[in-house]
Every structure is written in structure tokens, then in C-alpha cells.
Amino acid sequence: MPSPSNYFGTDGIRGTVGQPPITADFMLKLGWALGRVLADTPPPRRVMLGKDTRASGYMFESALQAGLIAAGTEVGLLGPMPTPAIAWLTRTFKAQAGIVISASHNPYPDNGIKFFSATGHKLDAAMQAQIAAALDQPFATVGPAELGRAFRVTDASGRYIEHCKSTLPADFQLSGLKLVLDCAHGATYQTAPQVFAELGAELSLLGTAPDGRNINRGCGATDTAALQRKVVAEGAHLGIAFDGDGDRVQFVDSAGQLADGDQLLYIIACHRHAQGGLKGLVGTGMSNFGLERAMRDRGVQFHRAKVGDRHVSAAMQKLGYSLGGEPSGHIICAEAGTTGDGVVAALQVLLALAPRNWNLPEATFPPCPQALINVPIHRRLATIDDADVLAQLAEVKTRLASGGRVLLRPSGTEPLIRIMVAGEDPALVDQCAADLAATVRARYA
């Protein structure tokens, strides 16, 4: 089993179900550990607990609940809910923490845990260290009179639906808009269709029949092929895809062309800039050069944070910016929430597109040439230290010179090494990415 310091990746704890640490006994201890960390908090000590639609979520929900109660902590059970909804409800219920049981965009054999603080933000490193330290302590149940209790929040979905709609002007409607929604058989399968239907959109649905094993399988924000076909076949104005836990969003235009998170972020940013409500924009090292250039041309400050919505959120707070996101579709609208929210971001895109009669291509920017390659490896890595790979990376940087950039990093959520090469010459970009990927495969795959 990994040491406590290695439990937490870039987005919580994640792995294959049944393999340490993604086991029922570990989740029991993890819930208890969080409860112990919160033990000095004045009662009632409360944690909100939600999940996506994976079959293993039931097992881990019960284990975490038992551990929290054994540590004297009250547990609010939210059931299947999008990650951003759980962050928002943690704040709404004045809880000390929130827990999401989800592996986000990963396939169903994986699962994981994300933690939120009382403010709805991802836990900082200090809090994670306290939980890791508590995991090293012997499990001990508080006295019978001090045990926590569980309660089910029966109106969780309704609360979140109203919250999403409240991020729009009161008179905003989607009447006359034909949408195809793909909910990835995940956490948005109930809430997202209701939000868009109540705003007046005509809906056609994909990915709204979860069976515990079909989450993210051939659908959702990480596989939009079915959505692209359906938008064209049905003559819809737009298609919208969420990932398994609902913190990512991608759009498809009426011709079936995909618009990623960079394009969506640009659309929202331009709308807010035109209204005088945009101080600056936060992207990441993966953000397209074209986005940075388009923002600069409009006189908007563009800041690159480390990859991961935790880092985007931290940069936004530091700079006082209200908008940030990633190409993957994690988009944070600070006035509406503390983490990426696919539904809220989609509504903000539609708000910007309404004056254009839902013409998505008209609102986008011309991207710079960019190549993205994910190389599967046999195990997750914390760092890349192979001499041959680092030498190839240095060579690619030399070939790109000042006309491009390269990003090489291990995924914090999957056994992958991610490669991004960008520049002005598409042939050079593709060749550099291919050469770097070949070396990575030879050394790590």
C-alpha cells in the first residue's frame, strides 16, 4: 500500500476498485481520518457526501459514512450529484467538508475521492497532510453518546437546479433552441436535463441511463463522436457533453464540429469583456496559444496556471479574476461556484451565444497548431526523470525555439504521460510531438 503522502494525486485519491487504496477498508479508515481531523471543530461537525453513478459508489458511500460516524461526525447523504453541486451544497449546509466519490472522466472500474473544504474549494496541502497523518493512527470509535449520525438530503437535486438557473438573468430563456445533451451516464443525468428543459429548450438526450458500468463509455465529454452524429442527424442547434462527474463540458455546433474548453472559455470571456465585467482570464500550460493571443488582442490579461482546476482556482483567487478554465472543459465561474461546473459553464456559453442566434463558429477564435498525445504507461508516475526522455524534451524545445512551447507531464489521475506541443508550424508541431511520444513509449510503456 502506498505511503500516506502518496495517496493524494492532482485531484484527490483515485485508482482501480479493489486495488489499494481504492478498497472498502481504506475508505472506512479515510472517513474516520477526516472525522478525526475535524474533531476540534465545534459541533455539529458535518460532512456532505455525494457520488457519481459507478456501482462501486454504494460500497464506498457506506464505508465512508461508517468511518465518519465512528469519529463523531454528522453525514449529509446527497446521492448521485455532480461534483460542483456537492461543493456548493457543502457551503450551503455550513458543513466543515464535502466528499465526492468519483473518478470523474475515468472508466467505471476506477473510482476515487475528492475533498472540499468548508468554503467549497479543494482541500489544501496542509489539510491533506493532516488526513494522511490521521490514517497512520489506530482506528478507535468514539463513545456511544458521541457517535455521529447520517441524514439524507431529499431536495439536493432541486436545490442545485435552482442554483444553476439563478446564475442567469431572471428573464433569460432557451425557447426555440434545440439541444442534444450527453450526460455520460454520469452524475448530471437527472439535473442537467431538468435545468435546460425548465429554461425552455427542446431536448434530445444521450447518456441518461446509468447502469453503474456504462459511465463515460463511448459518450460524454471525453468521447463526443455519438453526440456529433446525433446533432447533425437531428438538425439541432448545438450539442452539449458533460463528463462522468459533471465538472467538464464540451460543445458541438450544428455541423457536428467540436468546441473544446478553450473555445468555450473564450466565448464567455468575450461576452463578459463586452459588458465590462472581466478583469482577466486564467488558463493553464495546456491552453492554446490562440486563446492567449485572442485575449491579448482584446486587451485582456491572460495568466497561465499549472494544469488542474485546483491550480486554476488558486490563481483566480490570488489575482482576483472571476473566470478561468482548461481545454478539457473545466471552467470556473467564481461568482457561481468554487470548482469547474459543466452545467453552469454551459449556461454561460448559451447566454453569450443567444444574441448570435446560437451560431457557435461565429463566436470562436482561430487556434494555433497544437498536438496532444496521451501515452499509456504501466503505472502512475509522480515525476518524469528518465534521461532519454529529458534529452528528447530538450531537443524538441530547441527545434521549436521561440516559436512554440512543449509540456510533458504525468497525469495525476490516470497511468498516462501527457504531451502537448504548440507552435506556428503545424508540420513541426506534429513531428515534435510524435518524436517525444516515441521516446516516452520506449522508456515508460
Residue-wise pLDDT for 330-378, tens only, equals: 999 999 999 999 999 999 999 999 999 999 999 999 999 999 999 999 8
Residues 408, 217, 258, 240, CA torsion sign: negative
Whole-number Å distance between alpha carbons of 318 and 279: 13
What does the block give as the cell for 388? 532519454
Per-residue model confidence (pLDDT) at position 124 = 87
Domain 370-444, CATH among 1.25.40.10, 2.40.100.10, 3.40.50.300, 3.30.310.50 = 3.30.310.50
Name the residue with cell 451516464: 185
Per-residue model confidence (pLDDT) at position 164 = 98
Task: Tell me which residues are annotated as active site.
Answer: 104
Residues 296, 372, 305, 12, CA torsion sign: positive
Whole-number Å distance between alpha carbons of 165 and 10: 30
Q: Hey, what CATH topology would domain 174-259 get?
A: Alpha-D-Glucose-1,6-Bisphosphate; Chain A, domain 3 (3.40.120)
Per-residue model confidence (pLDDT) at position 42 = 86
Cis peptide before 4 (omega within 30 of 0): no
Residue 408 one-letter amino acid: L
Nearest residue to 200 via CA among 157, 163, 171, 232: 171
Phi first, then psi: what are they for 319, rounded to 5°?
Answer: -90, -15
* Within this chain, domains 4-156 and 260-368 share the same CATH topology: yes
Per-residue model confidence (pLDDT) at position 6 = 64
Per-residue model confidence (pLDDT) at position 8 = 82
Nearest residue to 431 via CA among 421, 445, 418: 421
CB count in 10 Å sphere of residue 344: 29
| Strand-pair partners of 182 | 206, 241
Residue spans of the chain under pLDDT 50: 1-4
Per-residue model confidence (pLDDT) at position 4 = 43
What does the block give as the cell for 416? 498516462
Which residues make Cβ contacts (< 8 Å) with residue 253, sequence separation at least 6? 231, 238, 259, 360, 361
Give me the residue spans of the domains in the chain. Answer: 4-156, 174-259, 260-368, 370-444
CB count in 10 Å sphere of residue 214: 18
Phi first, then psi: what are they for 49, rounded to 5°?
Answer: -125, 120
* Residue 242: strand, helix, or coil: strand
Per-residue model confidence (pLDDT) at position 238 = 98
* SS3 of 110-137: EEEEEEEECCCCECCHHHHHHHHHHHCC
Residue 135 one-letter amino acid: L
pTM for the full predicted model: 0.92
Give rounded-to-5 percent helix, strand, coil for the chain.
Answer: 40, 20, 40
Domain 260-368, CATH among 1.10.1060.10, 3.40.120.10, 3.40.50.11270, 3.30.360.10 = 3.40.120.10
Name the residue with cell 479543494: 122
The domain over range 4-156 is classified in CATH as 3.30.1330.200: no
